[in-house]
Chain A
């Protein structure tokens, strides 16, 4: 199990060090700094093994977090845990930054004490932690409050406390979808899938049990299979073909297995209810057509056409196109018909932003890139 947890800034200075087990010596902190943070190799795997001690690290915005162990652990669990720690910290004091960590390390120390016991991860749910690890812990709680916390820490429904009351009971639901597309240079779609998530904001009183269902393809697929050969997609109703999904811990997985309905007691406030993936029948919102022409040895012309595929009645907003450029780009000339385009040398890319709301059926951008010839233009 996890033997210790360290947090460093980008220079390798230790911000937090917490050792849970004796087999991790105090010098492990330095070993990681010297071998990973200061060794500036380009490629490195997130797990480093130094002298039979394994360091799992993640890096977020100039902050390194490393978990150390000498034991055989479940690698995915360690990473999941560290990501959770970061989540928890973010919900306590916002962005993860050196400044914030320094200002809050008493709190962090307390948190680490609570969520990791002898290297075993414990309840990491922010909602629960917030009830008994408070930043201004000075105010002493009344008897009832204490009892309430107690029941929550020990309770089965760890993500919701009892006795929540709202004058208006409201529940907001957002569906966010990410389309992922991989295209060959010839313009052929190699793979495309949609990764979506359902985010909820709940302001409900008491312990409500909510039910949630999706346009029944899931049910149909599970039940009607084998009985009929007909394709449910042809029945005329719009169906959601969900490949697979995962849920927040509040969803009763056993119920989903048997009844295919998503039933849950929601945590208070904002949370992510489910994630899903679909791969079939994806209609892409845009088509991006790049045309690349080499003009001489030091010049290249790239023309990008962006076509929208959705209905005229819909709006496309905050569209951003990133066009990567070779490392040795020296100058870029842009001709942009719609929106704004800018070459960002730090990102090695041209960023083209279309901020207007109404999106016409077609538009394009033309640009010319020049290269400096410090290194020969090879390919």
Chain B
């Protein structure tokens, strides 16, 4: 049956790989069907002997073959445990393939053969020190997967070691091992949390995802561990692997629900919202408006939403859905709809995913109609959909129905009624009913439509319509006599019990409207009573009783007859009901005391007005579950479901999330641009400095990275430390930190435990020292950047210390201990950090030597404020771009700074403090000002290389020895370019090369017609530093410039067809610059 494997190289018989391992009994038949495999000739009784022999041989390929066959057995669920000793021996095999398979086997059977499994442990311990990170990681993975309680302490140590490993891959594996150990021994929780805390601080994208997974599994309640990492998680989110993204977003959703206040408390006007066309709002302008409207949103909350948003474009449906649920649960109402489009896209995905997405949409749609209304047509049912998909779509369609859209929906529903799928048809009819009762305007139309369905040929359709009409008539107390009569006629033809019962109930309820027909129907039903279904019988009784009360003359006898029949029915429910009714309507002791109290009230009991049923979505009650979770899908609480906490009324202290001092101060400084800028800064701040990957993206700076990392380390270490340490010098910090960390890891371990392990540990620790030494040697000769080697050292030294031996040892080792967080960079990453693009544009400029830098014609005198006098206690700094090239470097834009001292005291030593070091941005300081007396002003010049971006550049102004103010220098797009002169001919040639994506065009009509285009020149030149290109044609204007840092050419041309209408074209290699410039030009020409 199984095809023979490729094993011609082995010395064994040509039997198939999998056949000899079959247990003798059950498989006989199977073997017989496949004589070619040679299964006949294998002697069953010797069973695994040949496998054992192969495992004992010293040829790797024999061992591998044997292992493959054994794993084959395991995979099919056959018993292979008696081979355990033979297999375990091979754990020391040098061959990595054999090793891997042995690992797989071990994980499966270790639990059953604990004693033997312990034999293999020492191998793993050795492998944990292997120089190859892959081997270290897989050893840890297997070691932690072996579910033997005896080895818990060993695993614990291994995890602690690995968590401080240099390789992010090993650290990631350590994170995975944490929940494994936790499930094996819950007592380790406290200690594991400490390791986890370290891992959460990790800044590598590879690690954080797994760390959060472990966090969710082990201690989801310890939300305090997230505070310090919140901003980092947000900024790294885009770069984490897809599975990690899902987990992180889920966790952050819960975090947001517990840490931020409800953004919808001060309600944004929903009406206004619905009026806006919202498939077009994914642009920033709109976003800004939204921000203005919801100004109270915590900047961190905003950061979370903002950094999750790009993930809507992810390829992985799970990620998209996670973002959707994040927005659903935490975003302000006005922003939730942004996710709708992405969710609709998922409908094109695989059937299974489609099902999940539709369920989520169905649940969302009950509360947020507006969100999905524009996509109504996406939910139209296709004949090729599976039935459960169809039902979900129907559900959504009905939830989305509004006065305006109900017409289209009803037309669709009408088509569905003619479909071939009975459950779907039934659901469609019910959907019509729901539309009818939800939207008053169409109730009559629907009712008519349903009535016309009563004459449908299909029994099922008629039956379903009857049931729906019954419900509708209840909601409409007005007389629908005609309909009731028509339905009464159906009693003869309809056979579906549910429908018959509904008709009877209706007749009874509204019998006074059809006084002649009702008794007649009862007569007919009494005749066929015995052959009816139970549900119909019950309704016959109800009808009889009701008629008996309203029209006793005609029906009293009939009623008695029906009750009599019911008395002898087989069903005890019916008998019970009959007895009960009889006592009310016909009291047994009537002759003795006249009507009893009950029978007097009978009318009130049976003919009381009943509330109409309210048709509701099945999905309403799913609100309680987190969107997209399994619990939400199956609508029951699954194991381990964590409820989303309600928003707190009062937000917990946001300071808890502050990691570094810098962003905090920035927020305090009330810059001109206030909130928006500062929150934006947060996000860019992180993405610029932290992850190595980002750095490689930035691709200009590689030399600056070292400083960055140092800063990072200091900063994060400072928050680990107590607050009072913050002012100290950084070198002091670095020494202090380790003490703390070691203490905390050492504490929980009790002394007795340590003694037990001591001998073991000493061995291994000494080993580790030697191992790490050799590692050191191997890494040094390779051309690793210096910094990495430097970092590597403390990490290695930490290995012996991370193992708590005794308190005394700990104290002795203190000085050697490294910071808790190992360096992020590993030699292996070096390749990615190298700058990738050579400045190609420089080459380009050389190609066109005719391009000459030109001096600016106009220098704008608009000044902006850099530092406000109120923040700085008197010092006001204003800046203005002079458009002259800066002396220090031609790629810098020079800005003229005006210092003015408004304060009462003399200011001394004004200078630039911390400067940006990332993204290619650099600053050339102004000459420090030794003193500035009150009331006086001074000028200075600062040179800034904006690296062709318009991001504000942040730096610090220092006054004296102790005052530091963060400032942001904003640059308009017109100032990151420099005017150049070139011939018209060259201009056109260049323009020809910058078509396609590099071209931006806009049309504009002037408010007042201008006769001469040249008059616009000045307007344009004030906005942007452009050089005028002389040309002959009066209907065109041409300008040229270069970007400051990369010297990419920027070409602007204005063309007017008549005096009123203008076409602006901007050609630029840098698409962002091009599009921003055109926006700015348009704005300036428009007014």
Contact assessment for A260 and B1071 in the assembled complex, using a CB-CB cutoff below 8 Å: yes
A169 interface contact, C-beta 8 A: no
B383 interface contact, C-beta 8 A: yes
Contact assessment for A54 and B634 in the assembled complex, using a CB-CB cutoff below 8 Å: yes
Q: Mark B361-396, 1 if CB is under 8 A from A, else 0.
A: 000000000000000011010110011100000000
B353 interface contact, C-beta 8 A: yes
A207 interface contact, C-beta 8 A: yes
Q: Mark B993-1029, 1 if CB is under 8 A from A, else 0.
A: 0001101111110000000000000000000000000
The answer for the CA separation of A120 and B999 in the assembled complex, in Å, is 46
Contact assessment for A109 and B316 in the assembled complex, using a CB-CB cutoff below 8 Å: no
Q: Which of A18, A80, A235 has the most CB of B within 10 A?
A: A80
Contact assessment for B832 and A155 in the assembled complex, using a CB-CB cutoff below 8 Å: yes
Q: Which residues of A contact B141 (CB under 8 A)?
A: 117
Q: Which residues of B contact A216 (CB under 8 A)?
A: 997, 999-1000
Contact assessment for A224 and B458 in the assembled complex, using a CB-CB cutoff below 8 Å: no
| Cβ-neighbour of B641 out of A72, A103, A120, A190 (below 8 A) | A72
The answer for the CA separation of A28 and B944 in the assembled complex, in Å, is 66
| Cβ-neighbour of A237 out of B316, B423, B697, B1001 (below 8 A) | B1001
The answer for the CA separation of A169 and B184 in the assembled complex, in Å, is 53
- Asked if A103 meets B837 with Cβ closer than 8 Å, knowing A75-B633, A153-B169, A237-B1001, the reply is no
**Majority-rule SS of A interface residues:** mixed
Contact assessment for B210 and A46 in the assembled complex, using a CB-CB cutoff below 8 Å: no
Contact assessment for B348 and A195 in the assembled complex, using a CB-CB cutoff below 8 Å: yes
Contact assessment for A71 and B382 in the assembled complex, using a CB-CB cutoff below 8 Å: no
The answer for the CA separation of A234 and B380 in the assembled complex, in Å, is 31
Contact assessment for B831 and A151 in the assembled complex, using a CB-CB cutoff below 8 Å: yes
- Asked if A120 meets B210 with Cβ closer than 8 Å, knowing A75-B633, A256-B310, the reply is yes
Contact assessment for B313 and A246 in the assembled complex, using a CB-CB cutoff below 8 Å: yes
Q: Which of A39-97 contact B (CB under 8 A)?
A: 42-47, 49, 52, 54, 56, 58, 69-83
Contact assessment for B286 and A226 in the assembled complex, using a CB-CB cutoff below 8 Å: yes
A105 interface contact, C-beta 8 A: yes
The answer for the CA separation of A220 and B311 in the assembled complex, in Å, is 22
Q: Which of A110-154 contact B (CB under 8 A)?
A: 110, 113, 117-118, 120-124, 132, 137-138, 140-141, 146-147, 149-151, 153-154
Q: Mark B87-109, 1 if CB is under 8 A from A, else 0.
A: 00000000111001101100000
How far in angstroms is the closest Cβ of chain B from A128?
11
A270 interface contact, C-beta 8 A: no
B826 interface contact, C-beta 8 A: yes
Q: Which of B284-317 contact A (CB under 8 A)?
A: 284-286, 309-317
Q: Mark A231-264, 1 if CB is under 8 A from B, else 0.
A: 0000101000001111111001111111111000
Contact assessment for A219 and B95 in the assembled complex, using a CB-CB cutoff below 8 Å: no
The answer for the CA separation of A137 and B65 in the assembled complex, in Å, is 11
Q: Which residues of A contact B1079 (CB under 8 A)?
A: 223-224, 227
How far in angstroms is the closest Cβ of chain A from B791?
16
Contact assessment for A77 and B1071 in the assembled complex, using a CB-CB cutoff below 8 Å: no
B264 interface contact, C-beta 8 A: no
- Closest residue of chain A to B1082, judged by CB? A227
Contact assessment for B315 and A246 in the assembled complex, using a CB-CB cutoff below 8 Å: yes
Q: Which residues of B contact A109 (CB under 8 A)?
A: 71, 74-75, 104
Contact assessment for A225 and B285 in the assembled complex, using a CB-CB cutoff below 8 Å: yes
| Cβ-neighbour of A190 out of B242, B348, B377, B636 (below 8 A) | B377
A342 interface contact, C-beta 8 A: no
Q: Which of A175-226 contact B (CB under 8 A)?
A: 182, 184-185, 190-191, 193, 195, 207, 209, 213-216, 219-226
Contact assessment for A226 and B75 in the assembled complex, using a CB-CB cutoff below 8 Å: no
B656 interface contact, C-beta 8 A: no
- Asked if A207 meets B836 with Cβ closer than 8 Å, knowing A46-B355, A138-B61, A243-B341, the reply is yes
A230 interface contact, C-beta 8 A: yes
Contact assessment for B829 and A156 in the assembled complex, using a CB-CB cutoff below 8 Å: yes
The answer for the CA separation of A216 and B309 in the assembled complex, in Å, is 21
A374 interface contact, C-beta 8 A: no
Q: Which residues of B contact A184 (CB under 8 A)?
A: 411, 415
The answer for the CA separation of A222 and B309 in the assembled complex, in Å, is 15
Q: How many A residues are at the interface, by size bracket? A: 35 or more
How far in angstroms is the closest Cβ of chain A from B926?
30
Contact assessment for A110 and B72 in the assembled complex, using a CB-CB cutoff below 8 Å: no
How far in angstroms is the closest Cβ of chain A from B568?
38
The answer for the CA separation of A74 and B1000 in the assembled complex, in Å, is 43
Please tell me which stretch of B624-632, B812-820, B875-883 contacts chain A, meaning at least 4 of its Cβ atoms lie within 8 angstroms of it. B624-632
Contact assessment for B828 and A151 in the assembled complex, using a CB-CB cutoff below 8 Å: yes
B930 interface contact, C-beta 8 A: no
The answer for the CA separation of A15 and B169 in the assembled complex, in Å, is 31
- Closest residue of chain A to B697, judged by CB? A252
B1043 interface contact, C-beta 8 A: no
Contact assessment for B341 and A47 in the assembled complex, using a CB-CB cutoff below 8 Å: no
Q: Which residues of A contact B1004 (CB under 8 A)?
A: 228
How far in angstroms is the closest Cβ of chain A from B33?
14
Contact assessment for A45 and B388 in the assembled complex, using a CB-CB cutoff below 8 Å: yes
Contact assessment for B243 and A122 in the assembled complex, using a CB-CB cutoff below 8 Å: yes
- Closest residue of chain B to A182, judged by CB? B380
The answer for the CA separation of A236 and B640 in the assembled complex, in Å, is 58
| Cβ-neighbour of B280 out of A137, A195, A221 (below 8 A) | A221
Q: Mark B176-208, 1 if CB is under 8 A from A, else 0.
A: 100110010000000000000000000001100
The answer for the CA separation of A136 and B316 in the assembled complex, in Å, is 31
| Cβ-neighbour of A213 out of B206, B829, B997, B1003 (below 8 A) | B997
Q: Which of A243-289 contact B (CB under 8 A)?
A: 243-249, 252-261, 272, 275, 277
Contact assessment for B310 and A277 in the assembled complex, using a CB-CB cutoff below 8 Å: no
Contact assessment for A46 and B313 in the assembled complex, using a CB-CB cutoff below 8 Å: no
B275 interface contact, C-beta 8 A: no
- Closest residue of chain B to A252, judged by CB? B697
B457 interface contact, C-beta 8 A: yes
The answer for the CA separation of A182 and B238 in the assembled complex, in Å, is 36
Q: Which residues of B contact A315 (CB under 8 A)?
A: none
How far in angstroms is the closest Cβ of chain B from A329?
13
B986 interface contact, C-beta 8 A: no
Q: Mark B310-347, 1 if CB is under 8 A from A, else 0.
A: 11111111101110000000000000000001100100
Q: Which of A54, A75, A190, A261 has the most CB of B within 10 A?
A: A75
Contact assessment for A46 and B246 in the assembled complex, using a CB-CB cutoff below 8 Å: no
Q: Which residues of B contact A226 (CB under 8 A)?
A: 283, 285-286
- Closest residue of chain A to B178, judged by CB? A118
Contact assessment for B356 and A154 in the assembled complex, using a CB-CB cutoff below 8 Å: no
The answer for the CA separation of A74 and B348 in the assembled complex, in Å, is 19
Contact assessment for A219 and B61 in the assembled complex, using a CB-CB cutoff below 8 Å: no
Q: Which residues of A contact B555 (CB under 8 A)?
A: none
| Cβ-neighbour of A46 out of B3, B352, B636, B837 (below 8 A) | B352
Q: Which residues of B contact A379 (CB under 8 A)?
A: 418, 457-458
Contact assessment for A222 and B411 in the assembled complex, using a CB-CB cutoff below 8 Å: no
- Asked if A99 meets B239 with Cβ closer than 8 Å, knowing A162-B831, A224-B1079, the reply is no
The answer for the CA separation of A237 and B246 in the assembled complex, in Å, is 40
- Closest residue of chain B to A225, judged by CB? B283
Q: Which residues of B contact A151 (CB under 8 A)?
A: 828-829, 831
A106 interface contact, C-beta 8 A: yes
The answer for the CA separation of A14 and B238 in the assembled complex, in Å, is 39
How far in angstroms is the closest Cβ of chain A from B137?
8
The answer for the CA separation of A83 and B378 in the assembled complex, in Å, is 24
Q: Mark B448-492, 1 if CB is under 8 A from A, else 0.
A: 000000000110000000000000000000000000000000000
Q: Mark A313-328, 1 if CB is under 8 A from B, else 0.
A: 0000000000010110
How far in angstroms is the closest Cβ of chain A from B563?
40
- Closest residue of chain A to B692, judged by CB? A156
The answer for the CA separation of A54 and B176 in the assembled complex, in Å, is 23
Q: Which of B75, B217, B321, B637 has the most CB of A within 10 A?
A: B75
Q: For the complex of A and B, list the 3 residue pairs with the smallest distance between their C-beta atoms, beginning with the closest.
A: A191-B377, A213-B997, A137-B97
10 A-B residue pairs with Cβ-Cβ distance under 8 Å, sorted by A, are A47-B630, A75-B628, A113-B100, A150-B828, A154-B206, A184-B411, A209-B836, A245-B313, A275-B345, A277-B348
With A109-B74, A247-B314 already in contact, 15 other A-B pairs whose C-beta atoms are closer than 8 Å:
A17-B77, A43-B387, A70-B638, A72-B629, A76-B357, A78-B630, A105-B72, A150-B133, A223-B1076, A225-B283, A225-B286, A244-B341, A249-B241, A253-B310, A259-B1072
